Amino acid sequence: MNNAVWFLLVGGLLLVMGLTYTVLKRSPVTAAIIYLAVGLLVGPSALNLLHFNPLKESALLEVLTEGAVLISLFSAGVKMPVPFSFTRWRAPILLATVSMTLTVAMVAAFAFYVLGLPLGAGVLLGAILAPTDPVLATDVQIRHPGDRDQLRFTLTCEAGMNDGSAFPFVMLGLGLLGLHELGDFGLRWVLVDVVWATLAAILIGGVAGIALARLGWKFRRAPHKHELLDDFLGLGLIGVVYGLTVMVHAWGFLAVFFAAVALRQTELKLARNAPKSAAGATETAGTGAPASAGSAADPDSLHTVSEGSLVFKEHLERLSELMLVLLVGGSLFLTSWSWPAVGLALFLFLVARPLSVLASLLFTPTPWRIRGMTAWFGVRGIGSLYYLMYAIQHQLPESLALQMIQMTLVVVALSILLHGVSVKPMMGYFWRRSKQTPVP
């Protein structure tokens, strides 16, 4: 496919989606299903107008997926409705750690005993497929910063954290394949890849988010009264936090998520604590006029960096979803749908995910109806593609890379189809049959 045809395809798809947005919102399918269907139609499965080779273009796909995940993690972080505390975040933390570990272990066992892959490859495959996706799961995630629904909060917060907590298992898998140094008895892996990389990421992200929130708050208020470019500030925070974290060998995805959480929660705290007279001088979003003293008491009515940059990030998130899901469809052949790949996907969706979720939430007060919905809606997507490309760029053997590409693409495609078809009817039934449970 030449550039002209590619622009025509993407541009036409954007026009159709833009013009039919209201119809699509009411339809039982998600936008990702439409993108995937178009990709399969124009790809080698049907018309063969587009053939994207993930192995040959792994460096490009790594950058594209990396950017998409970062944008999505920032958007998820700034929509967190409550500040971090173990009581409120207990369920997502358990899902991002205990459930993550159990899923990796079960997928690794399936890959080793059923698919005949080496143990290191099984662990790596488990790490690639275990994290839930912040890009493709928008229909089950928090819709806006004021959304306090517990189910949406749990799924969003889990996706925000487990894109970072999967990285130690990626490095473990690479280490078992001889592509990363684990140290004697795995000591280096535990100290560097688990303890240091996790704690440093949370610290860097939290400090950076708090610092930007305070600077933005100070510059907008008297006597400065500066006008700020929130989109630039949001993207700048992502870039600085991610770059700095990677430079010190910590997990950048985790850092960006916690930077966004710290940014939003610090801004809300500053707004709540500000005197009415001082906060009343703050300009309202998009008007340039002073807010009233009454509106100053409402933090959501004030112009903040997190709120101002969110709309732009959501547009980037939608565009990246379209492009990458289209490439997924354009990478699949009819022969890609082998029984091992489909069997792995079904094992992940119907066995590994439900068992790991139920086990991790066993001793929590989470309502059973939320546990059941959480167990099903473990959407796999762009994050898995990033980890796969990351492994390929770290000299994963070609024969093994081809196997993992096939299985990962099929898992992602089936996740888009199965979760995409079920999300609207299941979520609608869930809200009709149960009372909404807010985050405490």
pTM: 0.90
pLDDT for the residue numbered 23: 87
Structure tokens at 171: 């490095």
Task: Please state whether the peptide bond connecting residue 223 to the residue before it is cis, i.e. omega within 30 degrees of 0.
Answer: yes
**Nearest in space to 381 (alpha carbons), one of 43, 128, 78:** 128
On the question of pLDDT at 284 being above 60, the answer is: no
Asked if residue 125 lies in contact with residue 387, where contact means CB atoms within 8 angstroms, the answer is: no
How high does pLDDT run on average in the chain?
A: 88
Please report, as a single letter, which amino acid is at residue 354: P
Given pLDDT bands bounded at 50, 70 and 90, which one contains residue 296? very low
Q: What angle do CA 108, 112, 117 make, to 5 degrees?
A: 105
Average pLDDT over residues 393-400: 95
**Nearest in space to 204 (alpha carbons), one of 196, 215, 192:** 196
pLDDT for the residue numbered 423: 82
In tens, the pLDDT along 142-151 reads 766 667 778 8
Given pLDDT bands bounded at 50, 70 and 90, which one contains residue 45? very high
Cα–Cα distance, 171 to 390 (Å, whole number): 10
Given pLDDT bands bounded at 50, 70 and 90, which one contains residue 87? confident
Q: What is the secondary structure of 291-312 as a DSSP string? A: PPHHHHT-GGGS--HHHHHHHH
Cα–Cα distance, 429 to 410 (Å, whole number): 28
Cα–Cα distance, 248 to 336 (Å, whole number): 39
In tens, the pLDDT along 170-209 reads 999 999 999 999 999 999 999 999 999 999 999 999 999 9
Asked if residue 14 lies in contact with residue 322, where contact means CB atoms within 8 angstroms, the answer is: yes
Asked if residue 136 lies in contact with residue 379, where contact means CB atoms within 8 angstroms, the answer is: yes
Q: Which residue has the tokens 């040959």?
A: 56
Query: 343: part of which helix (H) or strand (E)?
Result: helix 339-347
Of residues 120 and 2, more confidently modeled: 120
pLDDT for the residue numbered 224: 72
pLDDT for the residue numbered 287: 41
Asked if residue 347 lies in contact with residue 369, where contact means CB atoms within 8 angstroms, the answer is: no
Cα–Cα distance, 255 to 302 (Å, whole number): 26
Q: What are phi and psi of 88, to 5 degrees?
A: -75, -35
In tens, the pLDDT along 409-431 reads 999 999 999 998 888 888 776 76
Average pLDDT over residues 108-121: 97
Average pLDDT over residues 134-161: 79
